[in-house]
Amino acid sequence: MGVSFSESGAEDLVPVVNLSEAPGERLAWDRPRWLVYLWGLTELILVTNPLQVSSILRVATLRLFGARIGDGVIYRPRTRVRFPWHLEIGDRCWIGEGVWIHNQNKVQIGDDVAISQEAFISTGSHAMRRDMALITSPVRIEDGAWIASRAMLLGGTTIGRSSVVAPNCVIGPKATIPANTIVRQNPDLMSTERFSFKGENDSRTSND
């Protein structure tokens, strides 16, 4: 299994996984090696590059490599996408500067979704109690959601319609956030409604 043990004493008899034997690294590529390497170079020049300011060119580049992206999407610099052929983005979305989509499995983003600066979306994990084999599961963000700055979404997570993930929150793995929910890191305000339906003016009394 590629697990070794320290010989320095009983207190150190904790297994260590030989990472060179961990399986599954390239199973998620799903494309020829040359195309993955070509994407890495193209991403650096036309997607991640902070001097490349054109959102239209960035979106066109992602589409060229297999991403499905709708109309009216604003896609900022310093962004990264591991495999564009595993990416779907709906209409009128905002992808903020520094967003990293590490999508070894499918990431689906609905319409009118905002993903703010330096948010991180990862579909991958590892079999940590066995051999560190790669494990992937998709991430889905439904229409109208807002993933705030530096939030992290892990594999198997679904963010419901018009929900908000506050800054620095970690969601998942395999979590489901219901529609119309605000999730905060503060345990006293972990989950509240985004839009109130108790009265016509309730949702207009705060900018929160």
Q: What tens digit of pLDDT does each residue of 110-126 get?
A: 999 999 999 999 999 99
For the chain, residues with pLDDT lower than 50 are 200-206
Residue 106: predicted pLDDT: 97
What's the fold here for domain 30-185? UDP N-Acetylglucosamine Acyltransferase; domain 1 (2.160.10)
| Helix H or strand E encompassing 124 | strand 124-126
Q: Whole-prediction pTM value?
A: 0.85
Domain residue extents for the chain: 30-185
Residue 63: predicted pLDDT: 98
Q: What is the mean pLDDT of the chain?
A: 89
Residue 178: predicted pLDDT: 94
| Full DSSP string of 53-90 | --HHHHHHHHHHTT-EE-TT-EE-SS-EES-GGGEEE-
The span from the CA of 9 to the CA of 33, in Å, is: 44
Backbone angles phi, psi at 24, to 5 degrees: 100, 0
